[in-house]
């Protein structure tokens, strides 16, 4: 491939990347994967990702922070937030820094309580107290809350 063709290919890859970033923030890995799915080779994808980073349109830390906040607002616990960020290609250090607040037992309890309160009417339909507690436990566990946090919440109720 000539350098003219390679330059045109890279410009098309950058244009495709900017088009994707105009819709929503992506991580570097997500963007590279989407470009590869559109038929660009690995080197071209990496060059486009690097160019978007240099232009300031791609920032994994900023994207991870936005994602973590959105996942918290959706009522997910620390385990689910960490898993989702790992899926998106965020590095472990960034994940630990962003979820440090979620490791605080009081913050985690408050978040679990808020999620539980939104679903409380659903759980109150169950007349058997043991089954109700089991349903609450399974629900909060599936949302990514730690078992210790859920036990503390259930002890309050």
Interval 152-156 mean pLDDT: 93
Q: For the whole model, what pTM was predicted?
A: 0.80
For residue 156, what pLDDT is reported?
87
Interval 75-103 mean pLDDT: 92
Indicate the CATH number of 3-58 among 1.10.10.10, 3.40.50.360, 3.60.15.10, 3.40.50.2300. Answer: 1.10.10.10
- Which tens digit of pLDDT belongs to each residue from 3-33? 558 788 899 999 999 999 999 999 999 999 9
Look up residue 129 and give its two tokens: 């107290």
Question: In the structure, what pLDDT confidence band is assigned to residue 38 with cuts at 50, 70 and 90?
Answer: very high
Residue ranges covered by each domain of the chain: 3-58, 65-101, 105-156
For residue 104, what pLDDT is reported?
85
Spatial contact of 152 and 113, defined as CB atoms under 8 Å apart: no
For residue 87, give the nearest of 106, 68, 110, 74 by alpha carbon: 68
DSSP letter string, 4-60: HHHHHHHHHHHHHHHHHHHHS---HHHHHHHHHHTT--HHHHHHHHHHHHHHTS--H
- Which tens digit of pLDDT belongs to each residue from 91-146? 999 999 999 887 788 989 999 999 999 999 999 999 999 999 999 999 999 999 99
For residue 102, what pLDDT is reported?
78
Question: Could you say which DSSP state residue 128 is in?
Answer: S
């Amino acid at each position: 491939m000539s350098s003219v063709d390679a330059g045109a290919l890279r410009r098309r890859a950058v244009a495709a990347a900017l088009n994707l970033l105009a819709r929503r923030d992506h991580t570097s890995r997500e963007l590279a994967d989407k470009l590869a799915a559109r038929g660009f080779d690995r080197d071209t994808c990496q060059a486009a990702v690097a160019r978007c980073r240099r232009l300031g349109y791609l920032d994994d830390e900023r994207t991870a922070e936005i994602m973590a906040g959105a996942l918290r607002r959706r009522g997910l616990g620390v385990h689910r937030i960490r898993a989702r960020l790992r899926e998106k290609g965020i590095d472990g250090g960034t994940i630990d820094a962003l979820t440090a607040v979620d490791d605080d037992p009081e913050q985690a309890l408050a978040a679990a309580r808020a999620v539980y309160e939104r679903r409380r009417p659903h759980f109150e339909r169950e007349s058997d107290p043991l089954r109700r507690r089991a349903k609450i436990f399974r629900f909060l566990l599936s949302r990514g809350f730690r078992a210790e946090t859920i036990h503390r919440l259930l002890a309050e109720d």
